[in-house]
């Protein structure tokens, strides 16, 4: 729920009982006032009547009078010194309802005879009063509601706009473009505080990001030089004709391990570079020739394992991918399909405009889905040449360039699918 909707809702919830209480109070107050006025009028009327009756002649038919508003009935009751006022409900024939009245009653004596005098005034205005008050209150409430919503909308558009601008900026945040990001000054103190904090935060994140990036690159870069030196020294050492077989073997193995270290380093650097989006998509790369290139590069490996390769390749499959990454994607997937295959196994490759599927037979069981693309999660089944980064790199390419990489295991086949 939007903050504004929420505040508006709370406002309405609070105003509702306030208005109800106000309406009740007003009704009560007016009611009392009207009663008071009516009673006063009744007393005045009574005085008028008494004055008139005193002067009237004895045979006046008024002495027995019976209407709703005025009754004068002979009675045996003793004279009352004080009149009584009360509210009554009387049946109205014309409207077929009960209507409220104020009533003044007193037993008086006229020319020595006792009469019950009753004066009544209709309080029918009371209903109208309640209706009017409720109408006025509803109108006021509705007006206020419209006003509140309109002003909130206005406030939202104006006062909150710097907030939404900042929010948009945060949404579009990209790590490598952070240095250009600036949250500007606003006329609102709170938003200035927020923007200052955001500026500091993005500066810090950007700095950390740059540091990390530089560290990864520098570390990998700096490692290459000592590796190159060690490698070259071993190669020179190998040339010594006086070395025993055992010594040659040891040098050979050391050299192998150095190669592995260097490949590992290279792969880690590659992962970092892909993550940093350092391979921009400037053109479409056709995967068809890339696949053919690696099929011919791996020709010996395929022949040596006596693998059967089925290919269903679309004549052209331009993918939005940097050529270097297209090479890596294809060579890693195809290389794995060969490496983890058994002799006389099968590989099938399907390439369409939007998908590349490579499936292979293997002695390896299904890879747990949680591990398949994890770094350094390699099978411990005698494939020492793997550095455990091949599929992690494939996945990273997928994540960074919107290519969906999926692994399935079906009928003994390991199936990798890349979809762009």
Minimum distance between the CB of residue 236 and other proteins, rounded to whole angstroms? 6
Q: Does 225 bind other proteins (CB under 8 A)?
A: yes
Rounded Cα–Cα distance for residues 120 and 38 (Å): 9
Name the one range near other proteins by CB under 8 A: 149-157, 166-174, 193-201, 381-389: 381-389
- Four-residue CA torsion sign, 381, 384, 388, 393: negative
Rounded to whole angstroms, how far apart are CA atoms 232 and 224?
A: 12
Q: Does 319 bind other proteins (CB under 8 A)?
A: no
Q: Work out whether strand 308-313 and strand 346-351 pair parallel, antiparallel, or are unpaired.
A: parallel
d(CA 346, CA 360): 6
The single residue among 228, 289, 404, 408 that binds other proteins, judged by CB under 8 A, is: 228
Which tokens in the block code for residue 171? 């949404």
User: Under 8 Å CB-to-CB from 221, ≥6 apart: which residues?
Assistant: 269
Q: Binding to other proteins by residue 385, rule CB under 8 A?
A: yes
For 9, counting Cβ atoms within 10 Å of its Cβ (0-12 exposed, 13-18 middle, 19+ buried), the class is exposed
Burial of 18: CB neighbours in 10 Å, binned 0-12, 13-18, 19+: exposed
47 touches other proteins by CB under 8 A: no
CA distance 183 to 167: 10
332 binds other proteins (CB under 8 A): yes
Per CB under 8 A, the list member of 18, 204, 324, 369 interacting with other proteins is: 324
Q: Which of 6, 51, 131, 233 binds other proteins (CB under 8 A)?
A: 233
363 near other proteins, rule: CB under 8 A: no
- CA dihedral (350, 351, 355, 359) positive or negative: positive
Q: Does 216 bind other proteins (CB under 8 A)?
A: no
Q: How far is CA 293 from the centre of its chain?
A: 47
Q: Is 362 in the site for other proteins (CB under 8 A)?
A: no
With CB under 8 A as the rule, give the number of residues binding other proteins. 48
Out of 149, 227, 314, 420, the residue judged to bind other proteins by CB under 8 A: 227
Q: Name residues contacting other proteins, limited to 235-274 (CB under 8 A).
A: 235-236, 238-239, 245, 248-249, 251-253, 255-256, 258-259, 262-263, 266, 269
Name which position in 51, 383, 404, 408 contacts other proteins (CB under 8 A).
383
Q: Is 372 in the site for other proteins (CB under 8 A)?
A: no
Sign of CA pseudo-dihedral 68, 70, 75, 78: positive
Stretch that binds other proteins, among 141-149, 175-183, 225-233, 397-405 (CB under 8 A): 225-233
Which tokens sit at 306?
Answer: 């006596």
We find the least distance from the C-beta atom of residue 308 to other proteins, in angstroms, to be 18
Q: How far is the CB of 170 from other proteins (least distance, A)?
A: 31
From 25-33, 56-64, 378-386, 400-408, span contacting other proteins (CB under 8 A): 378-386
Phi, psi of 122 (to 5 degrees): -65, 140
Q: Give ∠ CA 320-326-332 in degrees, rounded to 5.
A: 145
Asked whether the beta carbons of 415 and 359 are under 8 A apart, the reply is yes
- Enumerate residues 75-114 that contact other proteins by CB under 8 A: none
What is the nearest approach in angstroms of other proteins to the Cβ of residue 239?
6
DSSP single-letter state for residue 111: T
- How does 357-394 read in b/e, with b if 16+ C-beta sit within 10 Å? bbbbbbeeeebeeeebbebeebeeeeeeeebebbbbbb
SS3 state of residue 312: strand
Interaction of residue 301 with other proteins, rule CB under 8 A: yes
CB of 259 to other proteins, least distance (A): 5
277 lies in the binding site for other proteins (CB under 8 A): no
Q: Which stretch binds other proteins (CB under 8 A): 16-24, 100-108, 144-152, 291-299?
A: 291-299
Which one of the spans 59-67, 184-192, 216-224, 392-400 is the region binding other proteins (CB under 8 A)? 216-224
CB atoms within 10 A of CB 128: 9
And the tokens for 348? Answer: 């099938």
Is residue 231 involved in binding other proteins (CB under 8 A)?
A: yes
Cβ closer to other proteins: 167 or 297?
297
How many C-beta atoms surround the C-beta of residue 317 within 10 A?
21
Indicate which single residue of 90, 297, 376, 381 sits in contact with other proteins (rule: CB under 8 A). 297
Binding residues for other proteins (CB under 8 A): 221-222, 224-225, 227-233, 235-236, 238-239, 245, 248-249, 251-253, 255-256, 258-259, 262-263, 266, 269, 279, 294, 297-298, 300-301, 304, 324, 331-332, 334-336, 338-339, 383, 385-386, 390
């Amino acid at each position: 729920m939007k903050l504004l909707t929420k505040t508006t809702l709370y406002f309405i919830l609070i105003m509702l009982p306030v208005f109800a209480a106000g309406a009740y109070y007003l009704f009560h107050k007016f009611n009392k006032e009207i009663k008071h006025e009516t009673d006063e009028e009744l007393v005045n009327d009574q005085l008028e009547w008494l004055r008139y009756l005193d002067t009237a002649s004895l045979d006046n038919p008024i002495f027995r009078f019976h209407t709703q508003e005025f009754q004068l009935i002979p009675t045996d009751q003793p004279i009352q010194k004080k009149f009584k006022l009360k509210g009554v409900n009387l049946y109205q024939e014309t409207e077929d309802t009960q209507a409220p009245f104020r009533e003044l009653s007193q037993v008086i004596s006229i020319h020595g005879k006792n009469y019950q005098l009753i004066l009544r005034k209709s309080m029918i205005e009371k209903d109208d009063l309640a209706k009017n008050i409720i109408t006025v209150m509803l109108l006021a409430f509705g007006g206020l509601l419209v006003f509140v919503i309109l002003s909130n909308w206005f406030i939202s558009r104006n006062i909150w706009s710097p907030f939404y601008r900042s929010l948009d900026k945060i949404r579009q945040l990209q790590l490598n473009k952070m240095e250009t990001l600036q949250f500007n000054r606003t006329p609102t103190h709170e938003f200035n505080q927020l923007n200052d904090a955001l500026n500091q935060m993005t500066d810090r994140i950007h700095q950390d990001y740059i540091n990390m990036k530089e560290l990864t690159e520098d570390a990998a870069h700096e490692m290459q030089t000592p590796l190159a030196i060690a490698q070259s020294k071993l190669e020179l050492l190998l040339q010594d004709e006086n070395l025993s077989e055992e010594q040659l073997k040891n040098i050979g193995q050391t050299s192998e391990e150095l190669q592995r270290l260097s490949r590992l380093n290279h792969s880690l650097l590659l992962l970092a570079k892909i993550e940093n989006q350092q391979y921009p998509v400037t053109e479409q790369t056709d995967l068809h020739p890339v696949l053919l290139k690696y099929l011919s590069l791996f020709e010996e490996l395929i022949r040596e394992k006596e693998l059967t390769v089925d290919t269903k390749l679309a004549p052209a499959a331009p993918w939005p991918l940097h050529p270097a990454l297209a090479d890596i994607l294809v060579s890693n997937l195809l290389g794995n399909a060969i490496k983890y295959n058994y002799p006389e196994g099968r590989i099938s490759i399907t390439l369409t405009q939007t998908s590349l599927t490579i499936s292979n037979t293997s002695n390896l069981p299904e890879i747990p889905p949680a591990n398949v693309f994890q770094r350094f999660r390699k099978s411990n089944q005698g494939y020492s040449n793997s550095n455990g980064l091949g599929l992690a790199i494939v996945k990273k390419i997928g994540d960074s360039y919107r290519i969906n990489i999926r692994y399935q295991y079906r009928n003994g086949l390991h199936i990798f699918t890349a979809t762009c």
